[in-house]
Amino acid sequence: MSVSSFAGPFVPELVLLAGTLLIFLLDVLKVRRIELTGGIAVAATLAALGVVVADLGFAPLAFLATVPASQIDVAPAAGAAPLFAFTSFGLVFQAIFLLATFFVALASVSRPSDERGAPIFYGLLLLATIGMLLVAIASDLIFLLLAIEVVSIASYLLVAYTRKDVRGLEAAMKFFVIGALSTVLSFFGASLLFGAYGTTNLYLIRAAGTAVGYPVLVLLGYGFLIAGLAFKVTLVPFHAWAVDVYDGAPDDVSAFLAGGTKKIGVFAFFLVFLGPVLAVGAVGSSGYGLFGGSVALGASFQITLGALAVVTMTVGNVLALLQKEMKRMLAYSSISQAGYMLIGIAIGTAPALGGATLQVFAHVLMKTGAFLVVGAAAAIGVGPLIDDWRGLGLKRPLLGVSFALMLLSLAGVPLTIGFVSKFVLFSAAVDAQGWFIWLAVAGLLNSALSVFYYARVLKVMFFDAAPAPAGAPAGSVVGGAGPPALPLGGIGYGRAASLAIIAALIVAFGIYPQAVLGAIQSAAYHFVTVGA
Amino acid sequence: MLPLISIVLATLLLGTVGTFLAGSRARWVALGTSAVFLAEVALLLASYPGWPGYSSSLVPGFSDTETYSWISVAWLHVDYAVGVDGISLIFILLTAILQVATVVYSWGETHRPAGYFGLVLLTCLGCFGVFVALDVLLFFLFWEAVLVPMFFLIGYWGGPNRRYAALKFFIYTHVASIVMLVGLLALVFYSGATSLDFSAVYAAAGNLAPVVQTFLFLALFFGFAVKFPVVPFHTWLPDAHVEAPTGGSVLLAGLLLKLGGYGLIRWAVEVLPHGFHSAQPLLFLIAFITIVWGSVLSLAQRDLKRLVAYSSINHMGIVLLAIALDSSLGLLAAVLLMFAHGIVSGLLFMASGSVHHQYGTRDISSLGGITPSAPALSTMIMAGSLASLGLPALISFPAEFTAFLATWNGLGYWVLIPLVVLVVTAGFYLWMMQRMLFGEKKGVPLDVHDVPWYEGAGMGLLVALTVLFGILPSLLVNVIVNSPIRGWPGT
Amino acid sequence: MTDLSLPGFLALSAALFGIGVFGILTRRNFILLLISIEIAMNAVILNFVYFAAFPAGTSGLSGQSIAVVLVGFAATEVAVGLAIVLALNRLKGTINVARATELKE
Amino acid sequence: MSLEELAFLALALVAIGTATAALLVRELVHTILWIAIFFVDLSAIYFLLSAPFLGVLQLGVYAGAVTILLLFGIMTTRKRIFSREAVTGIGPVPVALAVVTFIFLASALGELPQSTTAVQSYDPTALSQNLFGPNGPWLLLLGLIMLAGVAGAIYLVREGRE
Amino acid sequence: MIVGFAGTRLGRLEWGGWVAVAFSAAAMVLGVLIAVGEAMSPGTYTNVQFTWLHLAPAPGAFPNGFSLVMGTLVDPLSSLMLVVVTVVGFLVMLYSIGYMHHDHGLPRYYAELSLFLASMTGLVLANNLLEFFLFWELVGVCSYFLIGFYYEKPSAASAAKEAFLVTRVGDVLFLLGIFLYFSVYATAGPNGGWAANGFVFVHGASPFLPLPGANTPTLTIAGLLILGGAAGKSAQFPLHVWLPDAMEGPTTVSALIHAATMVAAGVYLLAVASVFLGFTPTDQLAIVAVGGFTAFFAATMAVVHPDIKRVIAYSTISQLGYMVLAIGAGFAMVGLYHLFTHAFFKALLFLAAGSVIHAVGTQDLFKMGGLKKHMRLTAAAFAIGGLALAGIPPFAGFWSKDDILGSVYSVLGTHPDYWPFFLLAFAAVFLTAYYIFRAWFLAFSGDGPRDPSLPTPHEGPWVMQVPLVVLSAMAVVAGLFVFFPGFQNLLLGGAGLPGIPPTFTTTDLALSAVSVGLGAGGIGLAWSLWGNGRVFVLSETSAIQPVRRLLLNRYYFKVGYDWIGLRAVYTISRAADFFDRFVIDGAVRGLERIFAAGSNRLRSIQTGLVSDYAAYVVGGLLALFVMLLIVGPYLLARLGGS
């Protein structure tokens, strides 16, 4: 296969790459207005999104399609080791990733227009997005890990892009150290698997199943892989970086990290532990454990991932309970949400995969939106503590209502997408029967626990009296020189539009989830069928 | 055929939104919505076979049903399915009545009225939804939707300890609903039901093994038991009631507690007969303990609202007992009793709210002789108390009588427990009236007036209904008995 | 050709990995952290190389390809890490990670 | 024990020793020296494994570029190049974690074939055909990583004029 | 049709009382007409008005369906009772106009009184046991309100509560009795059984009693429970405590409710039950025992009491005991006959006492004295009432009481175990005569009030006098009604009613003579001790002083009940409350603390130092190894490796 022969299906990636290069070119030409660079990024993202959606087979966009339907969800020929494959499941994820990028890119247009970091921000954003799109089509472990690294490297630099913010740089440093460690872990795992299977192709690895000479090597390799990927998904105890990074990073970047890049880890989990984790029920004949004994490899992974899921959501929620800072609270909540998604992976049935994917989709809307609201609030001079938000809900209805919707959705309140996704996910857990019902119970109890801190924020925003107006006028926080106040009372059109769209989608899909669930579920079915 | 139920839902939804947006005129919007709601419910009732006259030739079943596919993927089918049968109609009627009464009673609410009335309407909307839902997800959705407004009602308009009470209310009931949801989901998926529609679940539930049924029943029962609430899951109730604003208390006692009983009848009892039967001794035990506990504790209370709250526990114990009997008479009694309790406890909570407004305290021992200064209020309290202790010609009597008769039929001399407790119940109400209403004036400011007209009107409405349905319980019974309940005539 | 056995290489890479981990956990100087990471990364590359030399299948050629790619990747990583820490150093005047604990709890 | 095995043993011991030394010496410049030796040592191991291309790459990229990059990093972050690091205590927990990690990895040793076998060697042409043929996307991805890394890194270290 | 006059509750203004009087008059006319009609053509008719509650037939539980109905039943029993209720009701209403005119809250008073009359009428006319119970409860609550009419007085409020609670105990027993009967008759008997037809009494040819298997322990217990209910309402031993305290209410109320009508409802219940449900021999013995014992027991307490109304109240209890005795012995109509006469003379006594209280403003006999100078009419009325009560011919009480004694005597041969209770009742005749004339002498004879602070007494207005006159007349002649054939029809009732023995005119003369003699003796003793303003003071060292104290303290029953009601139950409930708050609720709070503490503890691991984070990562990696290599395989081996 030569490079030119697969250029066609990569139109979304190429569009984004073109956008990136254009932005860098303009930067070199000292054209740095954020409206322009941001506009390019938004346009590129939208175009890519259109193509992906068309590839998925939505009739109105069919003229945009670049991957023929005959190439989607096709199982590889026996022995073939393709590095990437187009699955409808991957395309769904591509769409989700592009959506996250779109929201962030749109909202970021509302930053001060003379900001010098704009080109690098948007360039890295688009590069990271390319990496994300590539993750979603990977079918090879090394391809997958390298694609993740594209995202990682871009993310480290995105967190640091302000250059002058100590908190941002500290966050970037921590992000980098833990990220690099995790990269090493992942690749080490991949190397062990390569040693055991002789290949890094996921189809071949799955096909080999447990029929391999070095079972301990395999288990160790997967252990390393789980640990490495868990960094991206922020599973406990691989999560500690996330809180500091989400806290220290610029708000829009936090939104992108929590809402966007985190999900590539989830997809990687799907990919690596498909079905779940090699083949369900493949029973090894001899000593997998250190103490020997015949075990089902798949079931062992399921128990491990299940335990990881429960620990993650519980610790995340408990930690969020008494958090005083808004961004850190959201970070912990994001960690606990990752636990929910992992439930779907631990179960590994098509319904569970679909449920977890819906949860991913919901989380993109909710968490991206939430961090964007935080950014908007910071832009109008609201402090970092939850208590600084007193009375904001009534004073700024757009922020108040959209944030309330996002929090309610995170809490799983009915008629929001968050409720539907949890419902479907936990239904799938119960549907799988066996001990998986306990995952549903744990998840539900955790969602009960989570309601507290969301409710507290709502209380502060709507019930508590607003603090006395500070001396500084709104909008004076950004840039000491006092840039011209943005429209909409400092929030800006881009952010407002982004928030409004997110809020509308949260409710719209909450009321009529079939609009996305149908596509997601059938994609999940194909994914499981083709992968097996 | 008009999609009447959807119209009602839309009415309530629009009304709620309108109320939230209406600012200082919220009460008018709320009243208008309530009136329309009541009219629509009347229409529903009128179109329901079997009302007002009873006809034995009727085919019972759900009527006014609407079904639209909502979520449909390979393994999960959820419908927007609504409909009513006799039992849900009774509760819907209760919802409409209490909504009107609460709105009227709260006419003088000045603290963020838009939010207050909006939340009141939202609570009623949720309850209505629960009563009409014919799909597991829809049911659960409304079930949860009720919690949120109530949480805010308590947490924002409540008494001094409101935050704690609101949170406690939320923990308890939310955790319970979660266990219930797991139970419901397991019911759906373990039985192999083709969709989450009630009819599908009902049809498939027979496939479940008895042991599974028992576990499912216990899970569901836990969910409902907290709502009921039965001992020992009851401690959220007194706190929530004491701290809640009057309107909140009324809806809490009048409607939210009913959800537990409704759910138990709809789900546990109907769908899981084996589980139900194996759990029956446990239910009886819990019911008896609850009856005794609620009554004995009422006696120890000094706060009027707490007293009424514990008496609610006592009454709900009787409801549980009646349901647990698994006889048609018992179910009839349970539904009647819940309706009666909804009206009467609403009345009593309104009265305690008025006492608090007028005298600044609800401490029974520091009040006394309030009858001369507030005869109307005093009359309401008396009416409520007497109704609550089962005076004939008032609404509780036919319900309690049937409940006891059914208990006698099912359990024989065990009926002595609720009967003896009846004396204790009478005891604490009489003691309360003696100390608070009668006797010498104590701690009452001189310039106290009687209740304002709107509070009086709210309570008066409930008193009138107490008498009306006390004298003509057949108005309710004829509706109830047309329900498609196992062992019910005609099924 | 050369005759060798597999376990020794695994032991070596395990040891190098352990040393890398040890360094990451104990060193506070960012440069040393980078070096620790590179030691562990070299263990990874070594893994790929010797698994390519003792292939589980018929050929382990792609193992060497991966090793090549990883060498390039590791260099990029070092550059990025250095860039971040230089920017931090400019603001804080230190590259000791124990001094960068403003974000916590 | 064959000559090859003896050579490997020696190289392995040197690798472990230099890596440890690099982390434990208290002068950063010495660290760079040790780590350079470590990289060279590994390069030798690659040659031993009949992977000459990788050996050369290791020498060029690691022993050359990376080492200089690190040295550069030290020089820009220090006022005096030859200054000692402050002594930091080494707690038992990190050591234990590292040792247990090693033990877990070593637990796989038993199942690997113990006998000595001939090392498989590859023609550099085959390697390049593999790299630029079917596994070409890896290189493309590496290119993307480098693009992001270089663009971002340059931006970060460039002194802003604002 | 009769229930309709509950509408009088609308009386709101000063003339509200007159409205109530008018309606009660109308009711009286109707009631008397019905009774006369019934007397002219003995028979029964039932008119079921509406179904209250209905369940269609269902297999299993109620093969014939289940209903509750509301209806009326008029028969000799009910029409006799109806006359009592409506006539006395009307007279008391009329009397109230004068007696109550200076009180506050008159509309409430008339409304409650009217409601009471309505309920009482409903009770009398009820055609089924449930309806009976319904009105039974309603009269109870009216009684509660009326006793507590002077609610500002703590003692009144307390007495009202006590009355309600004690009768509530009876009600519960009654209800349980209904259930027991229901379990026997639910599907058996006429018209598909009670479940189908709604507990309806079926009159005449096929009473329930002869049903096969009916004469069982169940029925015995049911009968005893009914007796318990009746005892609560009619203040029979041991549920008698409330009635004397109920005298806290207005005297009119005492006359109407606590002498003539409501307390008689218990007796009426027993009569109805004996006719329609039947009692087993054990029940009968129990009823006889309760009646006979109460007749004597209550009389003893009346002997020493200083309060004029309470003396009369105890006499009421005692007289009700006679009626119960008669019904127990199988003579329901005899009991009702006494009820009929008793209603008049007891109402008379109360109204006369009310007149006295109205005049002097106290109820303490020892403060009164010499009132007959100022209140001739009242004195005469009280005397007539007293004579009737004492059973002196030809006053009403003589005929009926003698009838009871004679009837019971006539069955002593077959039921020798009635003997002790017969003797107790007989002895009570003496005590009755003694205490009522003790009261008369204390109040009316002598030179003037013993307490000089009392106001100068005077007669009440005409509205108070008219009822006195009418009732006096009735007290004289009511006993003679029995000689009218129509009235005999009522008493003899329809088929199946155990009526008055046809030989009543030739009652055992000796028995009558002894009883009259006892009565006269009692009067004589009273005169010798208290006549002409004498005051008999028992010396402090007298041997019977402890007895007197025991009687004054009412055998310590009230103390005991209070202890159970207040101390014991209240203490238990406080303890339960403590348990509820601190143990059950404490568990919940504990859980909350655990979460908060966990949150704080966990938060402290977020140190901000990146090396620590790396350590977590490596630790997590090792944990994964442990899970994958050790725990997972172990678990799966344990669980069967599925």
User: What is each CA distance from A520 to A503, B426, E618, in whole angstroms?
Assistant: 21, 61, 35
> Could you identify the residue written with the tokens 């989450």?
B196
B39 part of a folded domain = yes
Determine contact: C28 vs chain E, CB below 8 A.
yes
Q: Are D41 and D15 in contact (CB under 8 A)?
A: yes
Asked if C97 and E609 come within 8 Å (Cβ–Cβ), the reply is: yes
Helix (H), strand (E), coil (C) string for E133-145: HHHHHHHHHHHHH
Is it the case that chain D and chain B have 3 or more CB pairs lying under 8 Å apart?
no
Q: Does residue A358 have a pLDDT over 90?
A: yes
For B115, the token pair is: 């939010």
Q: What percentage of chain C has pLDDT greater than the value 70?
A: 99
Whole-angstrom distance, CA of residue E617 vs CA of residue A227:
7
Whole-angstrom distance, CA of residue A149 vs CA of residue A143:
10
pLDDT at position D87: 61
B176 part of a folded domain = yes
Furthest C-alpha separation in chain D: 66
Q: Are A136 and A94 in contact (CB under 8 A)?
A: yes
HSE-up of residue E181 (Cα within 13 Å, Cβ side):
31
CA B107 to chain centre: 22
**Which residue ranges of chain B lie beneath pLDDT 50?**
487-491
Count Cβ atoms within 10 A of the Cβ of residue B163 and give its class: 0-12 exposed, 13-18 middle, 19 or more buried.
Answer: middle
Residue E614: list chain C partners with CB under 8 A: 24-25
CB-defined contacts A:C, below 8 A: 113
User: Residues with Cβ < 8 Å from B115, sequence gap 6 or more?
Assistant: B20, B152, B156
Whole-angstrom distance, CA of residue B59 vs CA of residue B381:
42
pLDDT at position B305: 86
Asked if E172 and B386 come within 8 Å (Cβ–Cβ), the reply is: no
Whole-angstrom distance, CA of residue D39 vs CA of residue D28:
16
Q: Which domain holds residue D40?
A: 1-100
Is it the case that chain A and chain B have 3 or more CB pairs lying under 8 Å apart?
yes
Whole-angstrom distance, CA of residue E406 vs CA of residue E510:
10
D22/D81 same-domain check: yes
Task: Please state the domain count of chain C.
Answer: 1
pLDDT tens-digit profile of A424-455?
A: 999 998 888 778 888 998 998 898 888 888 88
pLDDT at position E10: 38
C9: number of Cβ within 10 Å:
23
Paired sense of beta strands E45-55 and C3-4, if any? unpaired
- Contacting chains of D (3 CB pairs or more, <8 Å) are A, C, E
Question: E62: helix, coil or strand?
Answer: strand
Task: Please state the domain count of chain B.
Answer: 1
D20/D95 same-domain check: yes
C41 part of a folded domain = yes
Asked if A195 and C47 come within 8 Å (Cβ–Cβ), the reply is: yes
D32/D89 same-domain check: yes
Among E427, E163, E432, E166, which residue's Cα sits nearest to residue E301?
Answer: E432
Whole-angstrom distance, CA of residue E612 vs CA of residue E602:
14
Q: What percentage of chain A has pLDDT greater than the value 90?
A: 41
CB nearest to E51's CB, from B299, B391, B474: B474
Give the DSSP letter of residue E128.
B
D31/D86 same-domain check: yes
Residue of E nearest to C27 (CA): E611
Determine contact: D107 vs chain A, CB below 8 A.
yes
B435 part of a folded domain = yes
Q: Does residue A102 have a pLDDT over 90?
A: yes
Q: Are B243 and B166 in contact (CB under 8 A)?
A: yes
Determine contact: A122 vs chain D, CB below 8 A.
no
What confidence tier does A291 reach under pLDDT thresholds 50, 70, 90?
very low
Whole-angstrom distance, CA of residue B279 vs CA of residue A398:
51
Those of residues 300-359 in A touching chain C at CB distance below 8 A are: 328
CATH code of residue C77: 1.10.287.3510
- Report, as an integer, the average pLDDT of A478-501: 71
pLDDT at position C36: 94
Furthest C-alpha separation in chain E: 118
Helix (H), strand (E), coil (C) string for A284-327: CCCCCCCCCCCCEHHHHHHHHHHHHHHHHHHHHHHHHHCCCEHH
> Could you identify the residue written with the tokens 């008049």?
E344
Q: Are B459 and B354 in contact (CB under 8 A)?
A: yes
User: Which carries the bigger pLDDT value, residue E277 or residue A319?
Assistant: A319
Residue D48: list chain C partners with CB under 8 A: 2, 4
Q: Give the H or E element holding residue E624.
A: helix E610-626
B415 part of a folded domain = yes
D54 part of a folded domain = yes
Residue of B nearest to A354 (CA): B73
Asked if E641 and A283 come within 8 Å (Cβ–Cβ), the reply is: yes
Determine contact: E232 vs chain B, CB below 8 A.
no
D5/D84 same-domain check: yes
D48/D93 same-domain check: yes
Q: Report chain A's mean pLDDT, rounded to a whole number.
A: 84
Q: Are B226 and B314 in contact (CB under 8 A)?
A: no
**Which residue ranges of chain E lie beneath pLDDT 50?**
1-14, 59, 204-213, 495-496, 502-503, 641-642
pLDDT at position A288: 44
User: Which carries the bigger pLDDT value, residue D81 or residue B465?
Assistant: B465
Q: Which domain holds residue C11?
A: 6-97
Among A301, A369, A310, A380, which residue's Cα sits nearest to residue A339?
Answer: A310
Those of residues 1-30 in D touching chain E at CB distance below 8 A are: none
Residue of A nearest to B189 (CA): A431
CB nearest to C100's CB, from A149, A173, A200: A173
Question: A283: helix, coil or strand?
Answer: strand
pLDDT tens-digit profile of A227-242?
A: 999 999 999 889 989 9
Torsion (CA) B183, B189, B194, B198 in degrees, nearest 10: 0
Min CA distance, C1 vs chain E (Å)? 37
Q: Which of A98-102, A373-377, E468-472 is most confident?
A: A98-102
Its pTM stands at 0.85
Helix segments in A322-347, DSSP class H: 326-347
Asked if D94 and E615 come within 8 Å (Cβ–Cβ), the reply is: yes
CB nearest to C21's CB, from E604, E609, E618: E618
Whole-angstrom distance, CA of residue C27 vs CA of residue D25:
11
Determine contact: D104 vs chain E, CB below 8 A.
yes
D145 part of a folded domain = yes
CB nearest to E606's CB, from C26, C97, C104: C104
User: Residues with Cβ < 8 Å from E212, sequence gap 6 or more?
Assistant: none
Q: Which domain holds residue B154?
A: 4-480
Residue of C nearest to E613 (CA): C25
pLDDT tens-digit profile of D135-159?
A: 888 999 999 999 999 999 888 887 6
Residue of B nearest to A408 (CA): B148
Best E621, E626, E634, E638 member to test A by mutation, with max A CBs in 10 Å, is E621
pLDDT at position B378: 81
Residue of A nearest to D148 (CA): A154
CB nearest to A517's CB, from B71, B145, B186: B71
ipTM at complex level: 0.87
D106 part of a folded domain = no
What single string gives the DSSP state of each residue in A68-101?
-GGGTT-PPPTT---SB---HHHHHHHHHHHHHH
φ, ψ (nearest 5 deg) of residue A235: -85, 145
Q: Phi/psi zone of residue E533: left (φ > 0), alpha (ψ -120 to 50 degrees), beta?
A: left
B455 part of a folded domain = yes
For E636, the token pair is: 């799966």
Min CA distance, C23 vs chain E (Å)? 10
